Amino acid sequence: MKPPILPKRLVGVNLKMYFDAPSTTAYITAIAKFVAPPASISTGIFILPSYPCLASASDLLDMTPQVILGAQNCHAEDSGAYTGEISPLMLKQVGCRIVCLGHAERRRAPFNETDEVVATKAEAVVRNGMIPLVCIGEKSRSGIMSEGVGIAVRECSPQVMSVLRAVPGDAPIIFAYEPVWAIGAQEPASADHVLAVVKSLKQLIGTVEERADVRILYGGSAKPGTWGTLKEGVDGLFLGRFAHDVGNFERVVREVEES
Ligand SMILES: O=C(CO)COP(=O)(O)O
């Protein structure tokens, strides 16, 4: 088996469609500053700006290869008659190394992306030499802990399996476990719930194949303080709103670095 190329731990931020162009530039510039030498950060840091900012973000990060640039989605084909769609080949050409796929905001209406669509896109991302960051998660919350874990594992398993089947065995994959009900909330899902679900999903992946380069991150209202509760079983965090303040993003990275 090839040695893993993914860092042991990853922390990333999804800017969704929250930022405009100038604030994206300011945000990326600030991140590049705190990870640049003399800082020595072993955590993989990734950032997903909106498409129109990717080329300029790539220029801004030219001297900061520690920060991995990624896109929030892509099309499954490299080129063709797909007006308004985004080619994975072009994402690679402008400097992306990760592509987020199957985010809850794309699996639901109006985009209604299915597991099959997400898996086909994951294959396209790998074919173009990038890493798929595949979001998975159950739609609704159960008040009973054991029931909630079972529901989550049942809903996430086909989301995971379809991607494993589509992507060659030596390709790295990052999954972001994001319970849909925990996205945009005030608090993340409970650590007990997340750790139990991620443990089952890791077991599932382990029984299917020996894939060295798989990481499972947690996302959904994650913030400073969340990592301490999840570090025993999760490989990092996928942040949203609570990292839109660069100071908070840096705080989370430090928490991961110091653990
Ligand atoms: O969807 C997310 C990351 O992709 C998480 O968003 P929030 O942290 O804002 O809930």
**Where residue 40 falls among pLDDT bands split at 50, 70, 90?**
confident
| Residue of higher predicted confidence among 19 and 144 | 19
Find all residues with CB under 8 Å of 172, minimum gap 6, and list them: 4, 5, 6, 131, 213, 214, 215
Q: Is the peptide bond before 110 cis (omega within 30 degrees of 0)?
A: yes
Q: What is the model's pLDDT at position 92? A: 97
Residue 170 identity:
D
Centre of ligand 1 to C-alpha 184, Å, is 6
Mean per-residue pLDDT, 135-152: 87
The confidence band for 36, taking pLDDT boundaries of 50, 70 and 90, is confident
Please write the tens of the pLDDT for every residue from 208-247: 877 779 999 999 999 999 999 999 999 999 999 999 999 9
Q: Which two tokens stand for residue 235?
A: 């490989």
Atom number of ligand 1 nearest to Cα 238? 3
The answer to whether residue 4 scores a pLDDT higher than 60 is no
pLDDT band, residue 43 (cuts 50/70/90) = very high
Distance from the alpha carbon of residue 32 to the mean position of ligand 1, in angstroms: 21
Mutate to test the pocket of ligand 1, among 133, 241, 252 (most ligand atoms within 8 A of CB): 241
Q: Which residues contact 39 (CB under 8 A, 6 or more apart)?
A: none
For residue range 170-197, list pLDDT tens digits in order: 899 999 999 999 999 999 999 999 999 9
Distance 126 CA to ligand 1 centre (A): 24
Positions marked catalytic: 103, 178
Nearest atom in ligand 1 to 135's CA: 4
Question: How far, CA to CA in Å, does 253 sit from each of 4, 40, 46, 86, 139?
Answer: 21, 12, 11, 30, 28
Pocket test for ligand 1, best of 13, 238, 245, 252 (most atoms within 8 A of CB): 238
Residue 5 has pLDDT above 90, yes or no: no
Distance CA 152, CA 159 (A): 11
Ligand 1 nearest atom to the CA of residue 243, by list position: 8
What lines the ligand 1 site, CB under 6 Å? 14, 103, 178, 183-184, 219-222, 238-242
User: Which residue's CA is minimally distant from atom 2 of ligand 1?
Assistant: 240
**Is 60 exceeded by the pLDDT of residue 134?**
yes
Average pLDDT over residues 150-174: 95
Q: pTM of the predicted model, to two decimals?
A: 0.95
Q: In this structure, which residue's CA is closest to atom 4 in ligand 1?
A: 14
Q: Would you state the pLDDT for residue 144?
A: 74
CA distance 241 to 190: 18
Residue to substitute in 14, 73, 141 for testing ligand 1 pocket (most ligand atoms within 8 angstroms of CB): 14
pLDDT of residue 2: 58
Quote the ligand 1 centre to 16 CA distance (angstroms).
9
Average pLDDT, the chain: 94
Which atom of ligand 1 is least distant from the CA of 105? 1
What is the distance in A from the centroid of ligand 1 to the CA of 65?
24
Q: Write down the ipTM of this complex.
A: 0.98
| 48-69 average pLDDT score | 95
Q: Give the chain as a DSSP string.
A: -PPP-S-S-EEEEE-TTT--HHHHHHHHHHHHHHHSTT----SEEEEE--GGGHHHHHHHTTT-TTEEEEES---SSSSSS-TT---HHHHHHTT--EEEES-HHHHSTTT---HHHHHHHHHHHHHTT-EEEEEE--SS--SSHHHHHHHHHHHHHHHHHHHHHHS-TTS-EEEEE--GGGTTSSSPPPHHHHHHHHHHHHHHHHHH---SSEEEEEESS--TTHHHHHTTT--EEEE-GGGSSHHHHHHHHHHHHH-
Percent of all residues in the chain with a pLDDT value above 70, rounded to a whole number = 98
